Structure 1
């Protein structure tokens, strides 16, 4: 039998009504009824919190436990709330080296509501985690019978059970009659080099909006080790933002992402003040296709893993890591 270890962290799938109480991991598994045939399930009741409460310390501890578990030959399913599911999945993808399937799932409807989706999502996740054909895909997100790569997965709706999409890529496959069907495979692994997660590292995320004057930049300079800017369009900021960002880029890595939610940042299409060309030539680092929240996590892991020091930060290494996700390869 295939062995799958289930780590339960809480979330909607374990909610008892609308208050703060949570079911245990054993109770969540009991809602499933019977595990898929041929799957030996081991339970780890890891946390019982809403995913909005999860911390870097929680995810670092989870990554450590997942790493030990897959080293023993077990597939893994992580069950948590959907609010930060895409971020947990991406961090696990960066931190864990494994060929074994690691799947993150959850639910959009509480167990006491009509059409609760938790049991179906858990069954599909177990099927994927137990399937040898799903090895080597990196960390996966499985909900609504769709299989998404963690690097692309995005929660795109507040309530829909089909909330998870993969903008610009699409799902890797689906679960049909309890059997995973993989149609696509990522071109490169997510883990670009040995990475760890230091909870004490601070990376800011600043999302621009019309009329923004940059007041929040003052809070970044002395409190953070890096910054991700969720800019307009393909990587554009107001002209008055350029000099403050360039000054910050001399002191810390400043990554240029897009707030749009899909598509890669550009590099050479527009050349006016505040354009992507202007910003990249002033030291900012392109996020490529990574969404701002995931760009922040990658930068956090890089800074946690030695891409900084008393002489400044290792810009070539950080740039190469982001280029890896853009299909340009790792230098």
Structure 2
């Protein structure tokens, strides 16, 4: 029986990085070099290599993320492929994975993986992560999960995964939502399914001009005003607690929404949802000022969702609230 075939899309990142003689670490390895560094892949699947970028993920732009999604959708037309692996830097992996998840309607898994240690490290984690990702991509058990992040044996939904440590090999978590599954002793185990709203999956554009503004004690509306006056197309407001601000911020939010600039409120707290409950500059006042509420999404994920939804509204004319709603109820 022949092995399944998967596509490996390489974009750079620490998994393909090495130190220069001067000490700083930079992306260096080609897709072919990365593939050759994990000969055990030949025991898991036949690999079709697609080298898309060779950059650090701190340089990844929304347009680059869109190109990853387009490449996945193009490859998905090939019925001979069992799944897809995207080798990506960890700094912005969660954002790329979520954007792909929003734009991909296929059943075959899209597995994002990378490394915390560069390829010259005495004990690199990249090869093991890449091998696990290939196992997930080739596994029938992973069908229907959409895009996932696979690091250190964990499998996390793209919507929920977030980087929680700068150096630990266990860099990603889904916090209180929990992981989808794991790879243990070479076996893929899926613990639960996940909802996948597909109303944005036909979108083939993003609106990159979305600002993310985080509140802290005593801040006023100056950053919101700067975003509004700077030509942004939308704002994600990472508010306090349950989705609270202060009267000065509320006044600026009202000016934004009156100007047709959507403001999506999320919380700076890592877990839990926002709700329009408090007055005196709190969430209830933000709602009256025209702000939308972003459920349990964290700031960087809400920004990706708003980028896609704004592009979809421009194409279809569908109200923004209607485009966002299925993604905020889960």
Please report the TM-score for the alignment, with normalisation by the length of structure 2: 0.92
Specify the alignment match of 1:101 in structure 2. 109
Distance in 2 separating the partners of 1:97 and 1:199: 17
Choose the corresponding residue for 1:45, options 51, 75, 78: 51
Q: How does 1:235-274 map to 2 (within 5 A)?
A: 235-250=243-258, 251-268=260-277, 270=278, 272-274=279-281
Q: Please list the CA deviations of residues 122-163 of structure 1 after superposition, one character each: whole Å capped at 9, or x if unmatched.
A: 000000000011000110100001000000000011100001
Choose the corresponding residue for 2:217, options 205, 210, 213: 210
CA contact (8 A) 1:4 1:76 kept: yes
Unaligned runs of 5+ in 1: none
Distance in 2 separating the partners of 1:9 and 1:198: 20
Runs of 4+ in 1 over 4 A off after TM superposition: none
Specify the alignment match of 1:323 in structure 2. 325
Change beyond 3 A, Cα 1:235–1:21: closer
Distance in 2 separating the partners of 1:189 and 1:173: 17
Secondary structure of the residue aligned to 2:265 is: strand
How far did residue 201 of structure 1 move?
A: 4.1
Specify the alignment match of 1:158 in structure 2. 166
Choose the corresponding residue for 2:120, options 112, 121, 126: 112
Q: How does 1:63-102 map to 2 (within 5 A)?
A: 63-73=69-79, 74=81, 75-102=83-110
Distance in 1 separating the partners of 2:130 and 2:269: 31
Distance in 2 separating the partners of 1:299 and 1:195: 15
CA contact (8 A) 1:256 1:284 kept: yes
Change beyond 3 A, Cα 1:291–1:221: same
Over the residues paired in the alignment, what is the CA RMSD in angstroms? 1.8
Q: Please list the CA deviations of residues 275-323 of structure 1 after superposition, one character each: whole Å capped at 9, or x if unmatched.
A: 21221232111100111111111111111112589xxx86xx4323433
Q: Please list the CA deviations of residues 37-81 of structure 1 after superposition, one character each: whole Å capped at 9, or x if unmatched.
A: 351111111111000111222122221111011121321100011
Distance in 2 separating the partners of 1:278 and 1:216: 19
Distance in 2 separating the partners of 1:221 and 1:252: 8
Distance in 1 separating the partners of 2:201 and 2:163: 27
Specify the alignment match of 2:10 in structure 1. 8
Secondary structure of the residue aligned to 1:47 is: strand
**1:279 correspondence with 2:286:** yes
CA contact (8 A) 1:259 1:292 kept: yes
How far did residue 195 of structure 1 move?
A: 4.5
Distance in 2 separating the partners of 1:207 and 1:142: 28
Change beyond 3 A, Cα 1:267–1:204: same
Distance in 2 separating the partners of 1:192 and 1:105: 26
Specify the alignment match of 1:221 in structure 2. 228
Choose the corresponding residue for 1:128, options 104, 112, 136: 136
Please report the TM-score for the alignment, with normalisation by the length of structure 1: 0.91
Change beyond 3 A, Cα 1:194–1:216: same
Change beyond 3 A, Cα 1:190–1:15: farther
Specify the alignment match of 1:193 in structure 2. 200
Distance in 2 separating the partners of 1:181 and 1:84: 26
Distance in 2 separating the partners of 1:308 and 1:277: 31
Give the total of aligned pairs. 320
Distance in 2 separating the partners of 1:305 and 1:247: 24
CA contact (8 A) 1:288 1:322 kept: no
CA contact (8 A) 2:207 2:233 kept: no
